[in-house]
Chain A
Amino acid sequence: MNGQPPALEPIHSAYRLRYLTDEQLNRLQEATLDILENVGVKFPSEEALRVFSEHGAQVNHENQIVKIERDMVFKAMKTVPRYFVMGARIPEYDLQLQDGTTYFTTDGCGVQVCELETGTIRPSAKADVGMMARVADYLPSIGFYWPMVSAQECGATAPLHEIEASWNNTVKHVQSETIMGKRECEYAVEMATVIAGSREELRKRPPLSLVVCTIAPLMQDHAGIEGAMIMAKAGIPVGFLAMPCLGTTAPATHAGALAMGDAEIISAVVLMQLCAPGAPVFHSLMQAWADPRTGGYVSYPRDARGRYGVIEMAHHWGLPSLGACYGTDSLEAGTWQSAAEPALDPLLAGLVSPEIVTGMGLARTYTRLYPEQILLDNDLYQRARAYLTRMDVDDETLAMDTIRAVGPGGHFLAQRHTRKHIRTSLVRGLTHELDANNKYRNPHEAAREQVRWILDNHHPQPLDAAQQAELARILSAADREIGRGAMN
């Protein structure tokens, strides 16, 4: 059965919360400018150094460190579009970024999969990317898709295989977090052009966007930054994701880590605007924590405030924000930890209104896929979405006529008003599934059953045959050219 997915259900928060005051935001921004001007950021790319040099930045070709004066930063920031469109295969699912609307995605780039039926844990593969794209396609909470796991059997071109598997299994926008390198990105642009129809359409409604990680402290990745320039020139939105780790790759205090991560992001954003003025870009800062006893990477310390204030930092620059939610450190799905850690995430992020947010569905600190985890995370999302909706107080919802009709001592079950509203006002979630004995079911089991149902029943509209063939042709050319390192 080929079906169109249900309409998207983004978060439209009726409320706003400020994590950082204007004074704090200004101070953080000043710190970023100070770092950019006086400490600098390493750009291990001749092309990037040339662009900076041509525009008057202070470039040291020997150590590849670029120092950018504030005037150049602000000049570059003037050409950044505040909002843009992230296109989908079907226009109905396009994401028009705008104030007050937040679209969530899946988590991405996991390396292990726990089999739904057997519980066996194995390395991830391309088929898993497609399988989870179908689940994401079905869920209204998922606005766009991050390939959830790595297509490990595909070797060096795995990131391109991941976007192909995604487009073959979802009509929604695809955002890659793994494509790196000049040639890889040129192939990705070619593939995205096949989906969009033309280079012009690609600019108007890009069906692909890219997240490029910076390297803390204060470095860019050679392949990452060179690929980003290719994407930006083609009009494909590029986001820069800094992941400062408190205590190891960043100061052990929030503010210092955030300023440093911000400097990494802004330096890359400036480069994109110098190469391609007006290029759509976004800002993402996901601080982590190093366990002080092992150095191990921890996504959720008990104080994870930094996850939300960074969204305000992005907006302070006039940039859209990719917020960070979910990605529990729990080794398994369905544990107390896996719910407790992300429980407040969608609510707290929603209160700051990032334009886009990652990502549902992985455990073990973003590395292990439990197919049912996305349904559990989805439940938290839908709770937050409800909490952030303003309560209606009007004639209809006050139901004064009904109250008068029932009067003291009666009941409301036989009222037309009750019949009309009960389906929408008492929204049921994963914890309200009844079994054959009218007892509430174990929500983890219910989630497993739901994901099974989606996989059995939801088959998104396939790409047309010509597009499929064209993607396959481009992929095999990429495999031939850069497929070194294939695993089989």
Chain B
Amino acid sequence: MSEELLKAMAQSIIDGEAEVAMDLAKQAIEAGMNPLDAITKGYMPGVNEVGDSFACGNVFLPELVMAGEAMKAAIAVLEPELKKAGASREILGKVVLATVEGDIHEIGKSLVGTMLTAAGFEVYDLGVNVSAEKIIAKAEEVGADIVGLSALLTTTMVRQKEVIEAMDKKGLRKKTRVMVGGAPVTTDWVQRIEADGYSEDAVSAVHMAKNLIKGS
């Protein structure tokens, strides 16, 4: 195993260079490196370093997001190889994310998705303006541990409640926890619609998701 290649992988994450990360992943496959090693010994140390620097305020959100994007790019190359080998990387949990029906605000939800992916969750981002039916169908299909519902408007946040009610009817709430977010969402609202978690920003969303997984 090339120490140099592993170091370069970590550096590509620290630099937030998605294309470099992808090229290195391809090189690793060609060189016959175990894809799981590439992830855990190559890229993950880079993710951890960026995470630590972020935690102590040395790097900012753009660096964190770019590192997350680079990690996603590397995993996209390595995951099929892992599957071929009948292995899988360790994931913290499966998360289905969507902005609710009638609302096309994307940024907060996408940011949460990137952060969760970088932290080790498997994220299914359904996009914006997504109906309760579609969200629930996806959650059932993938066996989601968490459903994340975003809404930016006071007029659309009522849809979060509809999704939760529909999940209740289907008996999904025992397995799948619900996180909600968006500017008008408050702890009062979370209690009122009986969601399981809420955070005001993408970084806290990762902590919340980890806590929900631990608690379930």
Contacts and interface: CB of A to CB of B under 8 A. Distances in A.
Interface of A: 44, 109, 111-112, 121-123, 150, 152, 155-156, 158-159, 178, 180, 215, 219, 221-223, 245, 247-249, 252, 290-297, 367, 485, 487
Contact of B107 (A44, A112, A248): A248
27 contacts: A111-B154, A111-B186, A112-B186, A121-B188, A150-B184, A158-B155, A178-B155, A215-B105, A219-B104, A223-B102, A247-B61, A247-B62, A248-B61, A248-B111, A249-B107, A291-B61, A291-B201, A292-B60, A294-B200, A294-B202, A295-B111, A295-B201, A295-B202, A485-B158, A485-B159, A485-B161, A487-B192
Interface in B29-43: none
Interface string B150-162: 0001110011011
A117 B78 CA distance: 60
Contacts of A252: 62
Interface of B: 54, 57, 60-62, 102, 104-105, 107-108, 111, 129, 153-155, 158-159, 161-162, 183-184, 186, 188-189, 192, 200-204
B201 A296 contact: yes
A293 B61 contact: yes
A70 to B, nearest CB: 28
Contacts of B104: 44, 215, 219, 221-222
B60 A122 contact: no
B61 A159 contact: no
Contacts of B107: 245, 248-249
Contacts of A158: 154-155
B186 A293 contact: no
B162 A295 contact: no
B143 to A, nearest CB: 29
B61 A292 contact: yes
Contacts of A219: 104
B62 A292 contact: yes
A109 B186 CA distance: 14
B60 A123 contact: no
Which 5 residue pairs of A and B lie closest in terms of their CB atoms, listed nearest first?
Answer: A292-B60, A294-B201, A485-B158, A150-B154, A296-B201
Given A112-B188, A219-B104, A485-B162, A178 B203 contact: no
B105 A156 contact: no
B201 A367 contact: no
Given A44-B104, A155-B158, A219-B104, A367 B183 contact: yes
A109 B129 CA distance: 21
A260 B110 CA distance: 20
Contacts of B202: 294-295
Contacts of A294: 61, 200-204
Nearest to B63: A292
Contacts of B153: 178, 180
A180 B61 CA distance: 33
A252 B202 CA distance: 18
A109 B184 CA distance: 9
A293 B158 contact: no
Contact of A367 (B108, B129, B184): B184
Contacts of A291: 61, 201
A111 B184 contact: yes
A152 B186 CA distance: 13
Nearest to A368: B186
Contacts of B159: 485
A179 to B, nearest CB: 9
B189 A111 contact: yes
A159 B202 CA distance: 29
Contact of B61 (A295, A297, A367): A295
Contacts of B189: 111, 123
Contacts of A223: 102
- Among A252, A291, A292, max chain B CB count under 10 A is at A292
A300 to B, nearest CB: 16
B62 to A, nearest CB: 7
B188 A123 contact: yes
Contact of B155 (A180, A245, A295, A367): A180
Nearest to A44: B104
B12 to A, nearest CB: 22
B61 A178 contact: no
Given A295-B108, A295-B201, A485-B158, 5 more contacts: A111-B186, A123-B188, A155-B158, A249-B107, A294-B61
A176 to B, nearest CB: 11
B57 A293 contact: yes
Contacts of A367: 183-184, 186
A295 B154 contact: no
Given A158-B154, A248-B107, A290 B61 contact: yes
A291 B183 CA distance: 14
A481 to B, nearest CB: 15
Contacts of B111: 248, 295
Contacts of A123: 186, 188-189, 192
B181 to A, nearest CB: 11
- Among A245, A248, A252, A291, max chain B CB count under 10 A is at A248
Contacts of B105: 215
A293 B201 CA distance: 10
A249 B152 CA distance: 14
B203 A295 contact: yes
B86 to A, nearest CB: 38
